[in-house]
Amino acid sequence: MKKQLSNMVFLFVVVILVGFVFSFGQDKVPAGQKVFVDNKCQMCHSVESAGLTSKNKKAVDLSNVGSTYKADFLNKWLTKNAKIKDNLHKIAFKGDDKDLNALSSWLESLTSKPVSKKEENTK
C-alpha cells in the first residue's frame, strides 16, 4: 500500500514538473502586439510578419515600420502629435501611456518584410 502511495506521489510530482517546464517553453505574445490586437488596429493595418492580417483590402502592412520610424516618433504619431506626409494618424490612441509605449516599442521592432506569396511558392 505504501509503495502504491509513493508511486502515485512520484507520478504527481513528475506531472507537475513537466507542466511547469513546458509552460516556460511557450511562445509569449509581445505586449505591444497584444495592445495592437486589443485596440483593433487590424481594422486598418496588417503585420504580415507577425501573422496579423486585416480584412480591409486597403490595409497598410506595418511589417517593416521599425526600419523607418522609432518608438518616440510613433508615440507622437499615434496620439496625433506628429505627421507623416503632412497627415495625422486617423484615430488617436486611446489607451494609457504603458500600452502606448508597449505598442510603439513593438512597432519599432518590426524591421523585416514578410515573405511574399510568390516567394513562398518558389521554396
d(CA 122, CA 103): 34
Count of the separate structural domains present in the chain: 1
Domain membership flag for residue 76? yes
Tell me, what CATH number does 101's domain have? 1.10.760.10
What pLDDT score does 16 carry? 72
Q: Burial of 107 by CB count in 10 Å (0-12 exposed, 13-18 middle, 19+ buried)? A: buried
Domain membership flag for residue 120? no
Q: Residue 76 belongs to what domain range?
A: 29-114
pLDDT in tens, 78-98: 999 999 999 999 999 999 999
Residue scoring higher pLDDT (45 or 112)? 45
- What is the CB neighbour count within 10 angstroms for residue 65? 18
What pLDDT score does 6 carry? 80
- On average, the pLDDT of the chain sits at 85
